[in-house]
Chain A
Amino acid sequence: MSVTASVRKPLITGGKTAHDVTEDICRQVEGKPSKLWFTAMAISLGALAVGGYALIMTLWHGIGMWGLNKTVGWAWDITNFVWWVGIGHAGTLISAILLLFRQKWRMSINRAAEAMTIFAVICAAQFPLVHMGRLWLGFYWALPLPNTFGSLWVNFNSPLLWDVFAISTYFSVSLVFWYIGLIPDFATIRDRAQNKISKAIYGALSFGWDGAAKTWMRYESVALILAGLATPLVLSVHTIVSFDFATSVIPGWHTTIFPPYFVAGAIFSGFAMVQTLLLVTRKVYKLEHYITINHIELMNIIIMVTGSIVGIAYITEFVIAFYSGVEYEEYAFINRMTGPYWWAYWSMMTCNVISPQLFWVKKIRTNLAATFILSIVVNIGMWFERFVIIVTSLHRDYIPSSWAMFTPTFYDIGVYLFTFGLFFTAFFLFAKFFPVINLAEVKSILKSDSLKSKKEETINEMQEVQDLENN
């Protein structure tokens, strides 16, 4: 039994009972897919097909199909990689860090956010895999296997190899964390299933869950430890991603501020993506009583805070470049702001530093349309942040004869489109066949945090005050 102050806003509105929760969420899984779903799926499959063509051409002819050149050897691929990995971070933050902080508002949004994490990491992984060129030889280069042409091993001094370990651990641990949470809900669907096929499928997925008190006790213990493991893990992942740049000696990359700055940026863009996805899901599935304005406002506050951290990091970077007195470092930053890529820099500054400050206004952060637009603006800004860091630092080499510009080709854009197709196809499949809200967790807070219980509590309190006054 937990006691929550009645002054806190209710997390679940609409006087829902545990049975209502089951009905509301399972209805989406059990019903036939709507026309809207088929349309959305068709669009994302279209993107997957067009992008797939670009991907196959890239694999067939090599990465020369991209707009890379001798000076700018890293551009869209790693920009997209960092962008997708960053988006994934919000899911783990919601499910793990907010669990450790006992923030109950996570319960309505953690399922979809974790799904987003997993799909985003899959999308991110495409880029380093394709950039290896001969993908089929990647195992020898990335995994600690003896080289077939000798006894060389992988180089454990390289941040690129740390990335292999970080991303694969992050992906698999997130997947397990997500799946553990899904098991009890799959059991609910299994026990409601009408036809044999769904009974068999959800029966297999639910692993024979029966909801015994002993299993729940172990489950809670597992969830807590996994949250404890996932918290440093998620922070380590973007830290290691930032090492790819920070441990090199390129002016503009070689800075110690990168790890915290990347992690803050990751959470910033991840929450924006959660908003984009959940605002649509909430509307289509009529989940207004579960994902309330309160939830949206809280997420907007996180976007505002992390956006401000990112803004401070940009300014700090700038000041430190001047303070260092290193000519190359100073030039890298002046060039970012006023060089040929000034438009990318100022897009980044506008989208990431100025736009989230609008959330100081309560009317804006509780407005759905404004939140939706700003969530997309933030993700555009975060894409530009990675582009600015990567391309503007590279395109002015030490020797002016090596100076170059980067222009994406159709294949650069195509592979990016492919990951969008992949992400949305996976997300729509999830939204149709999996429960989009964690049933068990939401049911567990109905008594303490629903509007119904809050009202009863308030009435009781008022009664007590009256009784006291009468006496």
Chain B
Amino acid sequence: MESGKNYLVGIYDDEDVMLNAVKQVRESGVKIHEVFTPFPVHGLEDALGYRRSRLPIAAFLFGLTGTTLALTMMFYMMGFDWPMNIGGKDFAPLPTFIPVTFEMTVLLSAFGMVGTFFVVSNLKPYGKPKIFDIRSTDDKHVMAIDLAKNHLSSEEITGILNQSGASEVNTKNFD
């Protein structure tokens, strides 16, 4: 058996059956490579034992960068580099800086977070996804199990998958 290239693929028709199956399969000691679903299934990340996403932290830090950048830019331009008397207003009027500061915060936060999301999830134009079953973007929930990372035999795992409610169990080989 080639290492890391042979997968068992369990196909589930229903999200609740799949969610229970994930718990059952993990309890019977099988390591799940990943589950592919056509839509977000709530509670799946907990069932798979994933750590919560830290993207909100990234968003906050990018937002903070935006705030700092905007305020620095405006104070530098209007207060230091070329102070101008505009209708007798203060050279560094903080209240009139608020709208631009807010917009820059939102802009950097949104773009920074989405950029981070693309990078960590390896999403890019012409990115070639590993597709275990083409129906996973239509209506099937697909559980992939890497045989090389499991000590149980292929037959044993197939049995566990069938018992957990899989409608089909296939093998998949990436060359």
Say yes or no for B1: interface residue by CB 8 A criterion.
no
Q: Is there an interface contact between A213 and B35, defined as CB atoms closer than 8 Å?
A: yes
Residue of chain B at shortest CB distance from A152: B82
Say yes or no for B168: interface residue by CB 8 A criterion.
no
Q: Is there an interface contact between B15 and A192, defined as CB atoms closer than 8 Å?
A: no
Measured between beta carbons, the chain A residues less than 8 angstroms from B16 are 1, 447
Residue of chain A at shortest CB distance from B118: A207
Bound state CA distance, A211 and B42, in angstroms?
A: 14
Say yes or no for B152: interface residue by CB 8 A criterion.
no
Q: Is there an interface contact between A213 and B138, defined as CB atoms closer than 8 Å?
A: no
4 more A-B residue pairs beyond the given contacts A208-B127, A219-B121, A447-B16, with a C-beta to C-beta distance below 8 A: A210-B129, A214-B45, A229-B110, A444-B40
Say yes or no for A308: interface residue by CB 8 A criterion.
no
Q: Is there an interface contact between B55 and A222, defined as CB atoms closer than 8 Å?
A: yes
Q: Is there an interface contact between B110 and A443, defined as CB atoms closer than 8 Å?
A: no
For chain B, give the interface size range. 35 or more
Q: How many residues of A contact B (CB 8 A)?
A: 66
Measured between beta carbons, the chain B residues less than 8 angstroms from A214 are 34, 45, 48, 50, 121
Within 8 A of A (CB), among B104-138: 104, 106-107, 109-111, 113-114, 117-118, 120-131, 134-138
Bound state CA distance, A151 and B80, in angstroms?
A: 12
Bound state CA distance, A209 and B48, in angstroms?
A: 20
List the 7 closest pairs (A to B, CB-CB), nearest first: A208-B127, A18-B139, A210-B129, A153-B77, A444-B39, A207-B123, A162-B99
Q: Is there an interface contact between A447 and B15, defined as CB atoms closer than 8 Å?
A: yes
Measured between beta carbons, the chain A residues less than 8 angstroms from B42 are 1-2
Q: Is there an interface contact between B40 and A161, defined as CB atoms closer than 8 Å?
A: no
Using an 8 Å CB-CB cutoff, how does the interface string of B69-107 with A read, 1 for contact, 0 for none? 000011001100110101101000100110110111011
Bound state CA distance, A184 and B137, in angstroms?
A: 8
Residue of chain A at shortest CB distance from B142: A211
CB of B141 to closest CB in A, whole Å: 9
Q: Is there an interface contact between B55 and A153, defined as CB atoms closer than 8 Å?
A: no
Say yes or no for B3: interface residue by CB 8 A criterion.
no
Residue of chain B at shortest CB distance from A200: B126
Partner of B59, one of A205, A212, A225, A441: A225
Bound state CA distance, A392 and B9, in angstroms?
A: 69
Using an 8 Å CB-CB cutoff, how does the interface string of A424-468 with B read, 1 for contact, 0 for none? 000000000000000111011001000000000000000000000
Q: Is there an interface contact between A151 and B109, defined as CB atoms closer than 8 Å?
A: no
Q: Is there an interface contact between B124 and A208, defined as CB atoms closer than 8 Å?
A: yes
Partner of B53, one of A184, A221, A443, A444: A221
Supply 27 A–B pairs (Cβ within 8 Å), ascending by A.
A1-B42, A18-B39, A18-B138, A22-B138, A151-B81, A151-B82, A155-B84, A157-B86, A159-B99, A166-B99, A169-B103, A188-B137, A188-B138, A190-B137, A207-B118, A208-B128, A212-B36, A213-B50, A215-B121, A217-B53, A218-B53, A218-B121, A225-B109, A232-B106, A233-B106, A440-B38, A441-B39
